[in-house]
């Protein structure tokens, strides 16, 4: 069995399912954004497709659910879908259990959050207090202070905390799961220096390294960080001699294809990258890679959408497309589809030749799969 990554069409929102080689399942974010009362809403019915997949696998749980940060487009509807231990009202038949919950430290520390963000925060706090089923990324001083207010010490919960620049314990590319996770963000020092929580910049960014028959394939999950944070990440990685930790064959484009993840000027037709973003995209991306924008379709120049401050930005899309062309790669948008059809998930298989893009036919559905050739060895 080989690993697969499935990116769901949710508009400007995220939910990626990762199926490991040994059958374990992981979700990176969960955002049920579809309006069931709108017949023209093309976003996927996320609870339905995820539960259908779990039924086939004969399971009612995920081994890992990672919320990269608590913006609504990364956690919407979580309180309706998951079995959560901190309150009985989030328990009952049909709810999906989480063996291990991954969150940034900001998700523990944030006060004043509401709706789905508050629900996930409460679950994360409960698990951290109890000392089970949780992985927290980074240990700013504020986390130490919060734990002490709970009558706990940082040392007592250190086994549940992973810092940037290290791998998540319990996962190995040489183990049955055939994958390891290297954490790039959040930086604990950044949260201490800034004094306030910035969900996007304090979000979880990681490289997943898959090993299939001796061949390594790399996936970078960039969450919603901007170019300043990417610059810091690149400089820090280079300073520690870890450039290989920023190699990628699969690139989950940051912040739904916003130009701010490339440079601070949108540009007329193409955003110009900062020096570090250019290095990350143009040097570290390997031949025949796949770039995935979890977003709405790229706007047409001069359209109302083109003038919107919110992503996706066609200038950013133009930059990523140019990067893909130079590497004989692919640039894919999760919600880009002909007007007569609903978008299908983007699925990538990890093979012994690299990342293999699977395209599900919009007409025939899941029964028809056409594969792009894997990147050559």
Output the domain CATH number for residue 295. Answer: 3.60.15
Average pLDDT of the chain, as a whole number: 92
Hey, how many other C-beta atoms are within 10 angstroms of the C-beta on 112? 7
pLDDT at 364: 34
Q: Which of 128-132, 188-192, 233-237 has the lowest mean pLDDT?
A: 188-192
Indicate whether 299 belongs to any domain.
yes
Cα angle for residues 345, 350, 355 (degrees, 5° grid): 80
Q: What's 68's DSSP letter? A: S
Q: What's 154's DSSP letter? A: T
Name the residue with higher pLDDT: 136 or 359. 136
pLDDT at 360: 55
Question: Domain containing 290: what range?
Answer: 4-371
Indicate whether 103 belongs to any domain.
yes
Contact between 288 and 247 (Cβ < 8 Å) = no
Indicate whether 155 belongs to any domain.
yes
Indicate whether 376 belongs to any domain.
no
pLDDT at 372: 53
pLDDT at 201: 78
Could you tell me which residues are beta bridge partners of residue 332?
Answer: 292
Indicate whether 234 belongs to any domain.
yes
Q: Mean per-residue pLDDT for 353-357? A: 95
Contact between 113 and 121 (Cβ < 8 Å) = yes
Q: Is the backbone peptide bond immediately before 300 cis, with ω within 30 degrees of 0?
A: no
Indicate whether 154 belongs to any domain.
yes
Share of the chain above pLDDT 70, in %: 91
pLDDT at 370: 40
Closest CA to 210 of 19, 63, 3, 1: 3
Indicate whether 161 belongs to any domain.
yes
Element (H, E) at 237: helix 227-239
Q: Mean per-residue pLDDT for 342-364? A: 80
CA distance linking residue 271 with residue 266, whole number of Å: 5
Residue-wise pLDDT tens digits, 104-162: 999 999 998 999 999 999 999 999 999 999 999 999 889 999 999 999 999 999 999 99
Please tell me the total count of domains within the chain. Answer: 1
Could you tell me which residues are beta bridge partners of residue 134?
Answer: 101
Residue-wise pLDDT tens digits, 8-20: 999 999 999 999 9
The yes-or-no verdict on residue 192 having pLDDT over 70 is no
pLDDT category at 362 given cuts 50, 70, 90 is very low
Indicate whether 192 belongs to any domain.
yes
Q: Mean per-residue pLDDT for 64-76? A: 97
């Amino acid at each position: 069995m080989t690993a697969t990554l499935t990116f769901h069409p949710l508009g400007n929102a995220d939910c990626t399912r990762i199926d490991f080689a040994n059958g374990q399942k992981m979700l990176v974010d969960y955002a049920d954004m579809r309006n069931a009362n709108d017949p023209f809403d093309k976003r996927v019915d996320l609870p339905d497709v995820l539960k259908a997949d779990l039924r086939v696998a004969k399971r009612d749980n995920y081994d890992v659910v990672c919320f990269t940060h608590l913006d609504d487009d990364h956690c919407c509807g979580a309180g309706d879908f998951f079995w959560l231990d901190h309150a009985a009202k989030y328990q009952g038949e049909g709810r999906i259990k989480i063996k291990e919950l991954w969150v940034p430290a900001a998700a523990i520390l944030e006060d004043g959050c509401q709706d789905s963000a508050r629900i996930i925060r409460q679950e994360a706090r409960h698990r951290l207090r109890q000392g089970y089923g949780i992985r927290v990324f980074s240990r700013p001083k504020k986390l130490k202070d919060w734990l002490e207010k709970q009558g706990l010490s940082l040392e007592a919960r250190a086994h549940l905390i992973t810092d940037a620049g290290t791998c998540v314990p319990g996962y190995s590319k040489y183990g049955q799961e055939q994958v390891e996770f290297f954490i790039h963000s959040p930086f604990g020092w950044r949260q201490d220096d800034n004094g306030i929580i910035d969900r996007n910049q304090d979000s979880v960014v990681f490289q997943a390294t898959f090993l299939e028959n001796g061949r390594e394939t790399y996936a970078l999950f960039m969450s919603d960080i901007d170019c300043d944070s990417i610059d810091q990440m690149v400089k820090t990685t280079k300073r520690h001699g870890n450039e290989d930790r920023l190699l990628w064959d699969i690139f989950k484009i940051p912040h739904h294809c916003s130009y701010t993840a490339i440079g601070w000027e949108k540009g007329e037709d193409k955003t110009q990258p900062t020096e570090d973003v250019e290095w990350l995209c143009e040097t570290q991306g390997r031949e025949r890679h796949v770039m995935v924008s979890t977003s709405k379709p790229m706007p047409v120049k001069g359209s109302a959408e083109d003038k919107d401050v919110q992503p996706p930005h066609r200038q950013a899309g133009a930059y990523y497309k140019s990067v893909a062309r130079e590497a004989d790669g692919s640039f894919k948008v999760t919600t880009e589809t002909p007007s007569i059809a609903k978008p299908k998930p983007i699925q990538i298989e990890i093979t012994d030749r690299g990342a293999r893009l699977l395209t599900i036919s919009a007409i025939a559905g899941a029964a028809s799969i056409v594969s792009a050739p894997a990147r050559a060895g």
